[in-house]
Structure 1
Amino acid sequence: MAVRPVVITGDPVLHRPAAKVARFDEDLRVLVEDMYETMDAAHGVGLAAPQIGVGLRIFTYTFPNDDGVPPRGVLVNPVLTPGRTSQDAPDQDEESEGCLSVPGHSWPLKRAEWVRVAGFDVAGDPVDFEATGWFARVMQHEYDHLDGKLYVDRLNERWGRKARRAVKAEGWGRPGHSWTPGVDEDPFGH
């Protein structure tokens, strides 16, 4: 098991759809263990394989919930079906998200309050559950990574402008930027 560098917005793997996992084997198990190690070292609640430079449809999560779902898991080749998303403006205090691939920043984003998630675990066994509230938000955030989207791509015009300015000020938006959780300074101050 190893902590892997997290790539930052601008790396091509973050901005293209990930490929389906074809084999549930030892290589997959090792990758998932590395993802857990990296997520934990970063104090994250989720991590998608593209965030560590691997263009496969996998994400891990660790999030206590009231939905009867284990608080820690992996989804391989997931399919996500969201409920409706309110068209109201997002609440800056209650709906701000952060992302390990846009480290140290957060902006508010509206998300569906309910989703259905189906996929497979690391052994290839089916997984199917519903998620609500912030757990649903985590599922949507990580799933977006598998489709080549970052949460900043979904921000409304006001917050999107701020995000674009911050990315430019950081010098990101092009390949070659990463940080290693547990080695580099924690951009979120954990």
Structure 2
Amino acid sequence: MLLPIYVYGHPVLRKVGAEIGPDYEGFEELHKNMWETMYHSDGVGLAAPQIGLAIRLFVIDGSPMADEFPELEGFKKTFINAEILEYGPDKEWDSEGCLSIPGIREEVPRSHRIRIKYLDENFQPQEEVLEGFAARIVQHEYDHIEGKLFVDYLSPLRKRLIKGKLNAITVGKVHTDYRIRLPK
């Protein structure tokens, strides 16, 4: 089932997600719906707060971008209760967008390398080191479960310059090819 994407200004996007366990009610259906919603929305990642749930869950499929970023070949994962254990010191700037902030792309600094632990879709513990664009995508989605958005990394001047666009999103003056849920 396709779920609506909660957009900028909705309070759920600013909540720190709660951990979940294998007994989380409706997990399998939620997990399936998140994949379906992400693909339908042309996203490479989707976090639970973006569909209105303040829990520590996100899904990523970077493989469509593998031609440009080889580290994304086969990079399709579920992250439950993720915790970034280490951020590498080297930062890289690149353009980011977000399904919850449609129509806006901005240059954002991210660590080139991270070490992360999480539970996979079977609630099995995993730990790995990610680099390059894989690390960038994970950091972006991880921020969602921490109540952060990519626009939080912008300079005060840059934030002022896009304030009108952000305000337009909060009232639905934005075009998307997917359903959205506005702030109340």
TM bucket normalised to smaller: 0.7 to 0.9
Tell me how large the CA RMSD over aligned residues is.
Answer: 2.6
Segments of 5+ residues of structure 2 without an aligned counterpart are 64-68
1:34: Cα distance to partner?
A: 0.6
Counterpart position of 2:89: 84
Specify the alignment match of 2:53 in structure 1: 54
8 A Cα contact 2:97 2:105, kept in partner: yes
Q: Assess, with a 3 A threshold, how the Cα gap between structure 1 residues 164 and 183 changes in structure 2: closer, same or farther.
A: closer
Q: Give 1:162's aligned residue.
A: 161
Structure 1 residue ranges without an equivalent (≥5): 185-190
Contact 1:107 1:159 in 2 (8 A): no
**One-letter code of the match for 2:14?**
H
Q: Per-residue deviation at 1:163?
A: 3.0
Q: TM-score, normalised by structure 2?
A: 0.83
Q: Work out the CA distance in 2 between the residues paired with 1:114 and 1:7.
A: 29
Instruction: Kindly provide the CA deviation profile for residues 80-133 of structure 1, in whole angstroms up to 9, marking residues without a partner as x.
Output: 1321254x8x4xxxx110000001110111111111121101211112211111
Most deviating of 61-70 and 36-45: 61-70
TM-score by length of 1: 0.81
Pairing of 1:65-104 with structure 2 (within 5 A)? 66-67=70-71, 70-80=74-84, 81-86=86-91, 90=93, 95-104=94-103
2:89 counterpart letter in structure 1: R
Contact in 2 for aligned 1:116/1:130 (Cα 8 Å)? yes
1:43 aligns with 2:42: yes
Whether the 8 Å contact between 1:109 and 1:156 is mirrored in structure 2 is no
Deviation at 1:28, TM superposition (A): 1.1
- What's the counterpart of residue 3 of structure 1? 2
| Residues paired across the two proteins, number | 174
